[in-house]
Amino acid sequence: MSRFESRAYKVSVVSIMVALVAVFELINRALPLRVPWGMSIDFVALPVVLAFFVLGTRYSMLTAIGMFLILTVFGFANFVGATMKFFSTIAMIAVLGIFANKWSKGDGPKIFPLPILLVASVTAIAFRCLVAAALNYYWAIPLFMSMPIEDVINTMFFGSIWGFIGFVSIMNTTQGLIDLGLGWFIAFSTGFSRRGRGWGSTSKASSDQ
């Protein structure tokens, strides 16, 4: 067994990814790009997605738990923001994991054929938007802003629920594209993944089974 398959290597990668979450959150607090209830465009979840492409779903979920704990302790929106970031990120990871079960099995690097990668990414981002819209509507915004969601929509979205859904979807689509695009690029175009052969290669993916 090479060091890439060893548990020590995987734990080390997860530890590095969790540490990067803290670094990116510090950058996010210094250079914020967020809306009033804490939703932001940032790189905080990038290590979670990167962990998925390099190690697989299981270790990505562990990284997501580390992200949640870090953001709960010193994130901008504390528990509310940490919960939203956690669920919106794992929504994408769960969908990618479903595709990986068929197209890129095992705990190793997740290499998809280009058409499958695109379909998986679109589906993952769409599911993220659905989860984020529901959580924001029923829980996060009323709790964070201490006012009924109807008042928030009337104040900020001219009374249009579709304006609210559209805005949340735009924010989460943008964030999802950043996370998935940069995650894939770093994993397979910079040599971080030992099997980064480009998005069309699947010839060795099955060897991780």
Q: Give the whole-angstrom CA distance, residue 39 versus residue 132.
A: 10
Beta bridge partners of 34: 40
Question: What is the domain range of residue 193?
Answer: 7-199
pLDDT score of 209: 33
Q: Where are the beta strands (DSSP E) in 101-159?
A: none
Q: Is residue 204 part of a domain?
A: no
Q: Do the domain assignments include residue 103?
A: yes
Tell me if 152 is assigned to some domain: yes
Is 157:164 a contact under the CB 8 Å cutoff?
yes
pTM equals 0.85
Let me know if residue 117 belongs to a domain. yes
Report residue 207 CA to chain centroid gap: 26
How many structural domains is the chain composed of? 1
pLDDT tens-place string over residues 150-174: 999 999 888 999 999 999 999 999 9
Evaluate whether residue 206 is within a structural domain: no
CATH code, domain with 125: 1.10.1760.20
Nearest to 47 by CA among 93, 3, 4: 93
**Digit-coded pLDDT (tens) for 92-125:** 999 999 999 988 876 678 888 889 999 999 999 9
Instruction: Give a yes or no: residue 2 inside a domain.
Output: no
Alpha carbons 92 and 89: distance in angstroms, whole number: 5
In a domain, residue 1? The reply is: no
In whole angstroms, give the CA distance from residue 154 to residue 171.
19
